[in-house]
Structure 1
């Protein structure tokens, strides 16, 4: 899960710095007044979300399979403990 989160953060950071550079050189419009940082942050979020969805599909599927496995093991342990308490 940590790996997926770090990869997602990396995609966001890459989008942020790329957009910041485009705003700095004038290829993208600046925000109104002092809102330039907010403008770049919002734009980076909007662009990095679908990129993460597409680029990190394999990692997301792997992570969800691991979570399902851990939840299954926890349920099995809980059921085993529950039946053991009933037998005593």
Structure 2
């Protein structure tokens, strides 16, 4: 069985996926004339801004569980690093005293 990718990588990939889906959906709506085109040559910028504005709240709601899993993983990683640092410091103190 392949190792499970980190929660941060999964969250980032899912967030990019939601953004890409929003971008192409909005691009299609602009191309079809349902949404207004940008001014002059700013059409791509207009679609990017709309995709960001739409995908942010969608990601906030849809990826809540993934965000919590990522937070737990980060906290565990920080706790392990802190305990390892404390262990190394205690070993250094033991060497200095001896």
Question: Does 1:56 find its partner at 2:56?
Answer: no
| 2:82 corresponds to which of 75, 81, 87 | 75
Q: How many residues align?
A: 88
Question: Is the partner of 1:68 in helix, strand or coil?
Answer: helix
Unaligned residue ranges in structure 2 (runs of 5+): 1-7
**1:27 is the counterpart of 2:59:** no
Separation in structure 1 between the aligned mates of residue 14 and residue 89 of structure 2, nearest angstrom:
40
Equivalent in the alignment of 2:94? 87
In the alignment, structure 1 segments of 5+ residues that lack a partner are none
CA RMSD of aligned residues (A): 0.4
Q: Distance in 2 between matches of 1:24 and 1:84?
A: 65
TM-score, length-scaled by structure 2:
0.89
Q: After TM superposition, where is structure 1 displaced by more than 3 Å over at least 4 residues in a row?
A: none
Residue 6 (1) aligns with residue 44 (2): no
